[in-house]
Amino acid sequence: MKPTLFVLAAGMGSRYGGLKQLDGLGPHGETIMDYSIYDAIRGGFGKIVFVIRKDFEKDFKEKILSKYENHIPVEVVFQSVDNLPEGFTCPADRVKPWGTNHAVLMGKDIIHEPFAVINADDFYGRDSFEVLAKELSRKRDREGDYCMVGFRVGNTMSESGTVARGVCNVVDGHLDTVVERTSIGYDKDGKIVFTDENGETQQLAPETPVSMNMWGFTPDYFKHSEKYFVKFLNENINNQKAEFYIPSVVNEMIHNGTATVKVLDTSSKWFGVTYAADRPAVVAKFAELHDKGEYPDKMF
């Protein structure tokens, strides 16, 4: 059975403004998602599931889904702040979504095979989809046998400002911890640095693996996530800013022995529109990829 690609498309780009998922950045108006779907199909994925917000369903279906439907089976699920486990009621003043792992939970009723999770607004590159599909197609004999694509941090930087990345500590090819580091950027000598929790500047080697939210799970992940979400809500339901993130669930499962996460290396270069100033460079990169023949003029 081919794995499914689960695309997290419910977020709005607060720094960038507007629905960047629908922004045409390719030479023929292609969105970043178009490239991900194209790479996923040729990489070996068999179905696409999008999680979106109900309020842009019409726009999304007209501009996005209609393109893919003749190429691969497509389904849509919706993330809303009031979709909570039994016994919990969303606070009336809660506006902020509950986070990436809440979005993942929206797929539990329709995904029954190994699946990958990606962000809608990140370009991951052909190689990353191939290595992930291959790993997800491997036969498994236990629950909690997961994976993630570890991008080399030097392949994920923005020229327009600092970035936040999940810096991975890898032991024997498997994830030990992922620590969210903010304000990763270049220093005056072109080295990649960040400021740690003690205010000290730390350097990262360009090949250091980081998480770009490209995960590989099996359906048992939903069961574990639901359990952790109940725990999260018991502690945070009235905290307006608290979010239920994928790395926090993964970290907990690794440390209590419930899961192992194989870290897959990729030569792919990530890019995305983190800042509005990134847009021209991204447009130029897509034009270059088309010129090289990496993508055809008509993908869909």
Question: pLDDT tens-digit profile of 71-108?
Answer: 999 999 999 999 999 999 999 999 888 999 999 999 99
**CA neighbor of 138 nearest in space, from 41, 48, 262, 274:** 262
Cα angle for residues 78, 42, 116 (degrees, 5° grid)? 40
**pLDDT of the residue at 21:** 52
Q: Quick check: 120 pLDDT over 50?
A: yes
pLDDT band at 19 (very low <50, low <70, confident <90, very high): low
Q: Quick check: 116 pLDDT over 90?
A: yes
**pLDDT of the residue at 246:** 94
How much is the average pLDDT of 9-38?
74
Q: How much is the pTM?
A: 0.92
- The values of phi and psi at residue 220, to 5°, are -60, -15
Q: Quick check: 20 pLDDT over 70?
A: no
Which token pair is 58? 């019409």
Q: Is the dihedral of CA 199, 203, 209, 210 positive or negative?
A: positive
What tens digit of pLDDT does each residue of 140-194 get?
Answer: 999 999 999 999 999 999 888 898 899 999 999 999 998 889 889 999 999 999 9
Query: Comparing 13-22, 119-128, 226-235, which segment has the lowest mean pLDDT?
Result: 13-22
Q: Which domains does the chain carry?
A: 4-142+212-248+269-291 (3.90.550.10)
pLDDT band at 58 (very low <50, low <70, confident <90, very high): confident
